[in-house]
Amino acid sequence: MAGFKRQALDDEDRRRRAIALGELAAEGIGVFCWCNRCGHNATLGIERLVQELGPAFPVPELGARLRCSGCGSKDVATRPGWPAVGPVARHGPGAG
């Protein structure tokens, strides 16, 4: 039974993969960057990243190549900069 479970987990890992810069470019979505040290964050445009790193470059690996413009740390996390869905209901001033 353990061999069956191991095979299923291995198959699932092969199907999963990180999103690539080219996939974000096709959707017109930037890369959201977050400094794990100071909390500074920004969304980078995708065009230059694709030109420099190629369309197959994985978005999560981009953080290792970045430096925070706020504190200079190289501890930066990256993910797709999905568009905001707007304010969350019943959060903020006057919520009640």
Residues in the chain: 96
DSSP, residue by residue, 40-94: -EEEE-HHHHHHHH-TT-BGGGGGGG---TTT--S-EEEEE-PPP--PPTT-STT
Q: What is the pLDDT of residues 24-43, one digit of tens each?
A: 999 999 999 999 999 999 99
Q: What is the pLDDT of residues 31-86, one digit of tens each?
A: 999 999 999 999 999 999 999 999 999 999 999 999 999 999 999 999 999 887 76
Into which CATH architecture does domain 16-80 fall? 2-Layer Sandwich (3.30)
> What pTM was computed for the model?
0.72
In DSSP terms, which residues pair with 77 in a beta bridge? 34
